[in-house]
Structure 1
Amino acid sequence: MNWIMPKDWKIRYKKELDLSKKYEEEGNLKETWRYLERAHLIGQYYPIPHTGIHFRMLLFAIDQKDIKEIAGQLIRVLFGWLGSWLNKIPVGNTGGANVPIFQPMPIPEDLLDLLSEADQTSKSLSGLKKK
């Protein structure tokens, strides 16, 4: 079970969240969302950060009055933690309602070192590699 996020992951997760806040304050909503997605890529392996990032995405969707995103995030807030807890997540998935919930996606190049323990070989749900 993945309960405690490693320190270097926490630092990077917070950095991505800080950048999303910075861009939101500047009114750059596209970049705000991009950095929320990047935080999701990191946080989805751990139940609490995974739920937290979906909650932030939900608040952003509410602020934007985006009904499709609100509905998608409500589902993810309610059930996303379970996939993290079971280590069965769609590796690389950006977490928005614009992509299928169980769709694995490529991890961005600049996050590959940090997420090197992610099982990218699976074509379905996986998570962190078994040790």
Structure 2
Amino acid sequence: MRMNWMMPSNWKLRYKIELDQYKSSYNRGDKLDAWKFLERAHLIGQYYPIPHTGTHFRMLLFALREGDLKEIFGQLLRLSFGWLGSWLNRIPVGNTGGANVPVFQPMPIPEDLLDLLSKADQTSKGLSGLNRNT
């Protein structure tokens, strides 16, 4: 079984860019854009336990600031178990990480992230992750 620990440098860079965009959007009051960038950071970070957990923690903080009870409870659930899926390379590829989508629902990867996430198993209908031969 492939366990994922170290995020490649090009992934780290893109993950950081998405988080920087999140912070900028949130600071200027554009909460819809801010959430979109958190979702994109989740798409990148979900393959690795620490970034995955970090994204869900940020989503929880966002939900707390907004007083969104559904999102708060959804993020608490995801914080409890999401890291384990990343560690075991068993995640719902493309899932945006919010409580508005089912926890185990794979989703299409946005066009502009396909190059970066080309090693993601997009053929599975369930939990998958990075292709084993990568």
TM-score range, shorter chain: over 0.9
TM-score by length of 2: 0.97
**In structure 2, C-alpha distance between the alignment counterparts of 1:75 and 1:48, rounded to whole Å:** 16
- Structure 2's unaligned 5+ residue stretches are none
Q: Shift in Å at residue 40 of structure 1?
A: 0.0
**In structure 1, C-alpha distance between the alignment counterparts of 2:78 and 2:104, rounded to whole Å:** 11
* 53, 56, 71: which one aligns with 1:54: 56
Q: Tell me the SS of whatever aligns to 1:116.
A: coil
For residues 22-72 of structure 1, the C-alpha deviation after alignment (integer angstroms, 9 at most, x for no partner) is 000110000000000000000000000000000000000000000000000
Q: Tell me the SS of whatever aligns to 1:114.
A: coil
What does 1:12-23 correspond to in 2, within 5 Å? 12-23=14-25
* 27, 36, 39: which one aligns with 2:41: 39
Matched positions, count: 131
**In structure 2, C-alpha distance between the alignment counterparts of 1:106 and 1:92, rounded to whole Å:** 5
1:128 alignment partner in structure 2:
130
Does residue 1:27 correspond to 2:29, yes or no?
Answer: yes
What does 1:1-131 correspond to in 2, within 5 Å? 1-131=3-133
**In structure 1, C-alpha distance between the alignment counterparts of 2:80 and 2:104, rounded to whole Å:** 15
Q: Shift in Å at residue 21 of structure 1?
A: 0.3
**In structure 1, C-alpha distance between the alignment counterparts of 2:80 and 2:124, rounded to whole Å:** 24
